[in-house]
Amino acid sequence: MKRKLFLYTLVSFCIVLTLLYFLGALAAENSDYLLQSLPFLLVSVLIALILSYAVSEIVSRAFARKLVEVKESLKSLNAGEYEPLDASGYDKETALRFEEINTLNENTLKTMQRVEREQEKLKAVLDNVAQGIVAMNEKNEVVFVNASAIRIFHDGRRVISNKLSALVDDEKLLKKIKENLGGEQGFSFEYEYRDQSYAVSGKRIAESDKKGETSRLLILTDLTHEKQMIKQKSDFFANASHELKTPLTVLRGLTELLMQDETLGERQKKQVERIHKESMQMTSLISDMLKISKLERGEAEEERTEVDLREIANEAVAELSVQMRAKNITTEVEGRACVFADGKKIFEILQNLCSNAVNYNKEGGWIKISLSETESTATLCVADGGIGIEKEHLPRLCERFYRVDKSRSKKTGGTGLGLSIVKHICALYNAELSIESEIGVGTRITVVFEK
């Protein structure tokens, strides 16, 4: 900067002196004038040189002082202790520029303070979230980790490295996370870590090559309490079912004996028959509760063989033939498919699906069981032309004891556990269960088995 000012000033002085010199020569019209004035010209150039340097030095220092003040102001802004530029002692133009810079700096400071406040709020929220959250960049370096994640992996101790390996001290878990992070799709798996059960999930949230910018999220959810509650509920179901099974068996036996007693009057027989019917209903309910408990705890016995779905479908239809004839329902079984599974569990699926199709069908309705297979899958579909189900109920159909119309529970005689049993058996075989229905048109339930 100083060199440029010096050169500009020097050139300007030289041009002015040269012009004066030649103008003087022309005015005198004397060639001797050039020789006589040459020393004066040289002295003038030397003086111009000195003056140029002095002027450039003064201007440069003044300008440099302004730049230093701007730099110090920006440094104070970056440090969070902003000091505005002092415009006093400068010319009007410079003072105006300083005021503009001060305005920009003040707006920038306000924005920085607002962003910092928002970041502090966000950090406070994330630190109080029960789930462990780890944010990473494209190089799988840790950009942010909340208090819950630090508590899970380091018992609250400080993590001094941005390497994922410094945070996750379980080699097996670290390897599994890294393998899944390489993919474009999100992932989720369960993992037992330090006597706790966690759902580990991750997903890509952005594409970025910038250092320190978040592009992936890793989330850990503690499932320990939830699993304990499920186990307690399953244990309660199992224990309650076992305790109720014996007295119900006795009650059913006694009612059967009383029903054969010819000395009972008509009214008494009806009451006994009602007790017998209710005891049978309770026995069926308890049987289903025990099935679900065993499926949940993995205690259900099974013997996997190649099962012909068509044969099982025909058995389920034959078992329900009396109810179908009573409602004049026609049944069709088409196609063939085989799966490697326990035949009893496949029968449970078909029996429950067909039973629902009968109970919630119309008089003179129809049921169609379709079977198909490919090299990798076997598909079972049970469709009916029954009363149908409203869409709002579909997500809850597989919940225990959930009924769309509670007033029909006594009429249909179901336990409310049929679809729940189907769901658990499907989960056992990693089969996909889907339900489609429309009011007044019917219901279609599809199960896709992997081979």
Rounded to an integer, what distance in angstroms lies between the CA atom of residue 315 and that of residue 304? 19
**Range of 84-93, 154-163, 356-365 with top mean pLDDT:** 356-365
Rounded to an integer, what distance in angstroms lies between the CA atom of residue 422 and that of residue 345? 9
Rounded to an integer, what distance in angstroms lies between the CA atom of residue 395 and that of residue 406? 17
**318-370 pLDDT tens trace:** 999 998 999 999 999 999 999 999 888 899 899 999 998 998 898 999 999 99
Rounded to an integer, what distance in angstroms lies between the CA atom of residue 73 and that of residue 301? 78
Rounded to an integer, what distance in angstroms lies between the CA atom of residue 334 and that of residue 355? 18
| Range in 79-83, 119-123, 346-350, 417-421 the model is least confident about | 79-83
Query: How much is the pLDDT for 313?
Result: 93
CATH class of residue range 228-297: mainly alpha
Phi, psi (5° rounding) for residue 401?
A: 65, 10
Give the C-alpha distances (Å, rounded to integers) separating 77 from 64, 104, 111, 137. 20, 11, 11, 28
Residue whose pair of structure tokens reads 């945070």 in the numeric block: 167
Residue 384 scores a pLDDT above 90: yes
Q: CB neighbours of 143 closer than 8 A, spacing ≥ 6?
A: 135, 136, 137, 162, 212, 213, 214
**386-409 pLDDT tens trace:** 888 888 888 888 777 666 665 454
Tally of CB atoms within 10 A around 216: 19
Closest residue by Cα to residue 148 from 122, 175, 169, 130: 130
State the DSSP string of 174-231. Answer: HHHHHHHHTSSS-EEEEEEETTEEEEEEEEE-----STT---EEEEEEE-HHHHHHHH
270-279 in b/e form (b: 16+ CB < 10 A) is eebeebbeeb
Task: Report the run of H or E that residue 437 belongs to, with start and end.
Answer: strand 432-438
pLDDT top residue among 23 and 428: 428
| Range in 113-117, 172-176, 285-289, 394-398 the model is least confident about | 285-289
Residue 20 scores a pLDDT above 80: no
Q: Is residue 58 classed exposed, middle or buried when 0-12, 13-18 and 19+ CB atoms within 10 A define those classes?
A: exposed
**261-318 pLDDT tens trace:** 777 788 888 888 888 888 887 777 777 777 777 776 666 667 788 999 999 999 999 9
Residue 18's pLDDT band (cuts 50, 70, 90): low
CATH superfamily of 129-222: PAS domain (3.30.450.20)
Decide yes or no: CATH 3.30.565.10 for domain 304-450.
yes
Domain ranges, ordered by start, for the chain: 2-83, 129-222, 228-297, 304-450
Query: How much is the pLDDT for 229?
Result: 80
